[in-house]
Amino acid sequence: MANLLDLIGRILISALFLISAFNKVFNLDGSMGWMESFGVPGFLIFPAIVIEIILPILVIVGYQARIAAGVLATFCLLTAFIFHFDFSDQSQLVSFLKNFGLAGGFLFIVANGTKEWAVDREKKYVRL
């Protein structure tokens, strides 16, 4: 049961990034304009899209999940401070806290790794 819950947790925490990446791809100009309105160069949308697709997949399958989760935790914290720091707007406060919560979830993966349903799981050898 712990393996199933671990996998479901990794899927749920990663799903947001996959959906967000595809939204950015299909609304590239709008996403670039939004980033530029915060003083962030629009071309940085491309590495953001790559991060939001590749790293969540690594977390889900459990390949280098601790490293991927660490980078995603950092990504969440940077995103919170750069794009959601206007606490006078209630939705921005909620987005800021959401990013902090996601960073916390990823730090759990950094600290604890994944269970057995992962590509990187430690193999248990039996000596005969």
- The pLDDT value recorded for residue 17 is 97
Mean local confidence (pLDDT), 91-114: 97
Say if 128 falls within a structural domain. Answer: no
- Write down the pLDDT at residue 128: 67
Residue type (1 letter), 126: V
Average confidence score pLDDT of the chain: 95
Which residue range(s) make up the domain with 39? 2-112
**Residue 43 domain-assigned?**
yes
| pLDDT over threshold 80, residue 2 | yes
Kindly state whether residue 122 falls inside one of the protein's structural domains.
no
- Let me know if residue 64 belongs to a domain: yes
Percentage of the residues of the chain whose pLDDT score is greater than 70: 95
- Does 118 fall in a domain? no
Does any domain span residue 100?
Answer: yes
pLDDT tens readout for residues 37-64: 999 999 999 999 999 999 999 999 999 9
What local confidence, expressed as pLDDT, does residue 123 receive?
Answer: 66
pLDDT computed for residue 36 by the predictor: 97
Count of domains forming the chain? 1
For residue 121, the model assigns a pLDDT of 79
Q: What is the pTM of this model?
A: 0.92
The answer to whether position 117 is within a domain reads: no
**Residue 124: per-residue pLDDT:** 63
Per-residue pLDDT at 126: 64
